[in-house]
Amino acid sequence: MYSWLTNHTISFVNKFVSYSRYSLNLNYFMTQENKAGFPEIKPGMTVKIHQKIKEKNPKGEEKERIQVFEGMVIARKHGLESGATITVRKVSDGVGGEKIFPVYSPNIAKIEIKKQAKVRRAKLFYLKNYKKRLKEKKISQS
């Protein structure tokens, strides 16, 4: 009588299990890549991000250079996924600017951690209107 429900439920469970198996493998891959390449980045860290930029000169030749962006990480999104991003905020001459960087992009050459501020939030968007300095936390240089 309920055979259609049983078959449907079984197919749904099989799809879910295969999907979760795939995402587990992807998470494993990303943790291995994270161990190999970039340090663990948390909100409140002041970081220097070295980004590869390709430019064309007037002759039409393509050149690659590295541009450094230094600022405080105010958000990290999507955890260990392949599309994980960090939002970095910097104030230059009294004007604030933010950039969103994909963590696992091949265009990111290097990420250096300068210092770690003591924060109790995961998203630090309140720093846009915050005038006081944050307390520093000691980090181990590895």
Query: How far apart are alpha carbons 73 and 100 in whole angstroms?
Result: 10
Domain range holding 16? Answer: 1-37
Residue 107 is predicted with a pLDDT of 92
134 part of a folded domain: no
Collapsing DSSP to helix, strand or coil, 6 comes out as helix
Q: What percent of the chain has pLDDT over 90?
A: 48
For residue 39, is pLDDT > 70? yes
Average pLDDT across the chain, whole number: 79
Residue 29 is predicted with a pLDDT of 47
For residue 118, is pLDDT > 70? yes
For residue 21, is pLDDT > 50? no
For residue 48, is pLDDT > 90? yes
Q: Does 69 lie in the same domain as 110? A: yes
Residue 101 is predicted with a pLDDT of 95
For residue 64, is pLDDT > 90? yes
Residue 133 is predicted with a pLDDT of 76
Query: pLDDT of 77-96, one tens digit each?
Result: 998 888 899 999 999 998 99
How many domains is the chain partitioned into structurally? 2
Q: Residue 63 half-sphere exposure, CB side, CA atoms within 13 Å? A: 8
Q: Does 94 lie in the same domain as 46? A: yes
7 part of a folded domain: yes
For residue 126, is pLDDT > 60? yes
For residue 132, is pLDDT > 80? no
Collapsing DSSP to helix, strand or coil, 136 comes out as strand
Task: Tell me the CATH number at 68.
Answer: 2.30.30.790
